[in-house]
Amino acid sequence: MDIFLQQIINGLTTGSVYAIVALGYTMVYGVIQLINFAHGEVVMIGAMVAFTVITALVGAGLPLPPIVLVFAGVLTAVPVCMAIGYLLERVAYRPLRHAPRLAPLITAIGMSIILQHLALLIWGRDPRAFPQIMEVTSFNLGGAAISSVQIVIILLSVVMMGVLTWFVYRTRFGIAIRASAEDVRVAALMGVDANRVIAATFIIGAAMGAVAGVMYGTYYGIAHYTMGFTLGLKAFSAAVLGGIGNLAGAMLGGILLGLVEALGAGYIGDLTDLCQWPVFGGLLAERCEADGHVILLGSNYQDVFAFLVLILVLVFRPSGLLGERVAERA
């Protein structure tokens, strides 16, 4: 099996999910310069709701094809998350619209904790396993394996990115969102209601987040009330990597982050195998002869890469790959 190609495929899969989640962060940031830290939790709730619906349908014993089950799960999760996204904006952030920037930021962290613990109360602390409803088929692609789930995740993400881009660049309301991102007060002079635009960014981001949550949960076969935290932070890192506030940046940042993470996880074991370094060869000769490898950092260190990327971007290119300006308001 070709490790490089395999990790590219895996990276594209998780990267697609990061990109979709990152779009939720970046759209909201673009219009109101707020990092909605509760977005990761919205994604988690999307996965939880879908899993619950699918499990219930399977339990009911209806003879439904798997694709219908998943569809029903997604179709329930999306409106639930849209409602949560709207409520977050309406209840938590709108009253703080003109407050100093630290206030909504801390509120966002608070909302994240509240949603996480609500999920804990509803779904418990045990991970939810994705019901075995379908056979996952794998295809051979130049020596690497790509599963049907991966194909669906990548294609669905591309479609969502395409639709969002069309919406934001080709529709009247989409142009109004971009105009508001530049200057809400001037856009208001053209008749654009800022509240509607801001609410829309939350709702659209949450809808995509719900789908991303289901994709992520399906890919790993598991959903847990804390899954939104790491996923959210990684997607946020992706948004910063691409240039926060920039839609194309979020997409690019997500894919890149997924690739970096997958390749990092794929090679970190080999690179940190101490037996290949003569310096350690002598010291560890016994163990190297016995096991063949003494691996310092295994692939379980993959989460490190996302945050390493975040730190590097913040140090060397704070405006991100495609970002035009750095937010100077503190």
Partner 1 sequence: MLATALLEALNLEVHYGGIAAVKGISFAVEEGELVCLIGANGAGKTSTLKALARMIPAQGEIHYRNARLDRLPSHDLIRHGLALVPEGRGIFARLTVTENLAMGAYHRNDKAEIALDLQHIYEMLPRLKERAAQVAGTLSGGEQQMLAIGRALMGRPQLLLLDEPSMGLAPLMVEKVFEVIRTVAAQGVTIFLVEQNARLALQTCSRGYVMESGLITLADSAANLLADPRVRTAYLGE
Please give the residue ranges that form the binding site for partner 1 (CB under 8 A). Answer: 172, 175-176, 178-179, 182-183, 185-194, 324
Quick one: CA torsion of 298, 226, 109, 325, rounded to 10 degrees? 50
Whichever of 159 and 186 has its CB closer to partner 1, that residue is 186
Give CA–CA dist 120/293, Å, rounded: 41
Whichever of 75 and 99 has its CB closer to partner 1, that residue is 99
Q: How far is the CB of 322 from partner 1 (least distance, A)?
A: 12
Instruction: State the distance between the two ends of the chain, measured CA to CA, in whole angstroms.
Output: 49
What distance lies between CA 29 and its chain's CA centroid? 15
Q: How far is the CB of 104 from partner 1 (least distance, A)?
A: 21
Q: What is the CA radius of gyration of the chain?
A: 21
What Å distances lie between residue 230 and 165, 306, 327, CA to CA? 26, 10, 24
Q: How far is the CB of 246 from partner 1 (least distance, A)?
A: 10
Q: How far is the CB of 80 from partner 1 (least distance, A)?
A: 30
Whichever of 173 and 307 has its CB closer to partner 1, that residue is 173
Whichever of 59 and 191 has its CB closer to partner 1, that residue is 191
Q: How far is the CB of 196 from partner 1 (least distance, A)?
A: 9
Give CA–CA dist 191/198, Å, rounded: 14
Give CA–CA dist 44/42, Å, rounded: 5
Whichever of 56 and 175 has its CB closer to partner 1, that residue is 175
Whichever of 192 and 252 has its CB closer to partner 1, that residue is 192
What Å distances lie between residue 199 and 114, 138, 204, 289, CA to CA? 20, 41, 9, 62
Whichever of 172 and 329 has its CB closer to partner 1, that residue is 172
Q: How far is the CB of 251 from partner 1 (least distance, A)?
A: 17
DSSP string across 248-277: HHHHHHHHHHHHHHHHHHHHHHHHTBGGGS
Q: How far is the CB of 252 from partner 1 (least distance, A)?
A: 17
Do the beta carbons of residue 17 and residue 47 sit within 8 Å?
Answer: no
Q: How far is the CB of 191 from partner 1 (least distance, A)?
A: 3
Element (H, E) at 83: helix 66-87
Whichever of 169 and 277 has its CB closer to partner 1, that residue is 169
Q: How many CB atoms lie within 10 A of CB 323?
A: 22
Closest CA to 150 of 158, 138, 162, 159: 138
Do the beta carbons of residue 11 and residue 262 sit within 8 Å?
Answer: yes
Q: How far is the CB of 20 from partner 1 (least distance, A)?
A: 23
Do the beta carbons of residue 43 and residue 232 sit within 8 Å?
Answer: yes
Whichever of 176 and 288 has its CB closer to partner 1, that residue is 176
Do the beta carbons of residue 210 and residue 82 sit within 8 Å?
Answer: yes
